[in-house]
């Protein structure tokens, strides 16, 4: 009888350990990637370019639904003032401080298939990063000198600013700043200024 109780105790312990492993795996943050590819309608290229990625918002997906929250560390939200500060870009009739208002603002700028307005916001976002001087890129990647695309993987779901940080030499052209959501794998085309 004691042997059966001991065996049962071991089996219960093993079941608990296995179930904790399953919980830990399922709680891991979902990740995706951004692939930047050459455009088909110009000679702009990713070859040899360096890209910095700045995370703007966190995203959580549940089926077809995506919810956003402010990205930040140690209680600091780097882009809150850009959207809602004294000179914030979000109209004052939006709910102040509401991350959904900021996400909707970006969606409005990207509506109608013409992303010129979104590109302008992206440039302002990058100017804000330079002005602050203390917002670090979450990832930096340099494409090979013969690459036609470059992928940045292991990105937690969210909204990212992609900046071409290549040192310009000769007649080189910097890519326009790009914004992309990552809720699986995103593909964006290099934009020439």
Model confidence at 8: pLDDT above 80: no
Average of pLDDT values for 155-161?
88
1: confidence class by pLDDT, cuts 50, 70, 90: low
Cβ neighbours of residue 12 under 8 Å, at least 6 residues apart? Answer: none
Cβ neighbours of residue 164 under 8 Å, at least 6 residues apart? Answer: 49, 50, 51, 174, 175, 176, 177
How does pLDDT run across 59-115, given as a tens digit for each residue?
888 888 888 999 998 888 999 999 988 778 887 656 667 888 888 888 888 776 667
Average of pLDDT values for 159-174?
74
CA dihedral 112, 162, 133, 70 (to 10 degrees): 70
% of the chain surpassing 70 pLDDT:
73
């Amino acid at each position: 009888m004691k042997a059966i109780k001991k065996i049962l105790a071991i089996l219960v312990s093993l079941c608990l350990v296995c179930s904790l492993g399953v919980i830990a795996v399922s709680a891991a943050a979902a990740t995706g990637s951004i692939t930047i590819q050459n455009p088909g309608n110009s000679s702009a290229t990713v070859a040899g370019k360096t890209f910095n990625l700045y995370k703007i918002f966190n995203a959580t997906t549940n089926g077809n639904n995506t919810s956003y929250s402010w990205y930040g560390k140690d209680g600091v939200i780097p882009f809150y003032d850009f959207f809602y500060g004294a000179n914030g870009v979000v109209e004052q009739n939006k709910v102040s401080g509401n991350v959904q208002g900021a996400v909707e603002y970006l969606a409005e700028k990207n509506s109608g298939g013409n992303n010129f307005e979104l590109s302008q916001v992206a440039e302002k976002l990058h100017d804000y990063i330079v002005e602050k001087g203390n917002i670090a890129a979450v990832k930096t990647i340099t494409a090979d000198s013969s690459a036609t695309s470059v992928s940045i993987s292991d990105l937690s779901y969210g909204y990212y600013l992609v900046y071409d940080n290549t040192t310009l030499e000769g007649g080189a052209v910097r890519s326009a700043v790009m914004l992309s959501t990552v809720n699986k794998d995103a593909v964006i085309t290099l934009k020439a200024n």
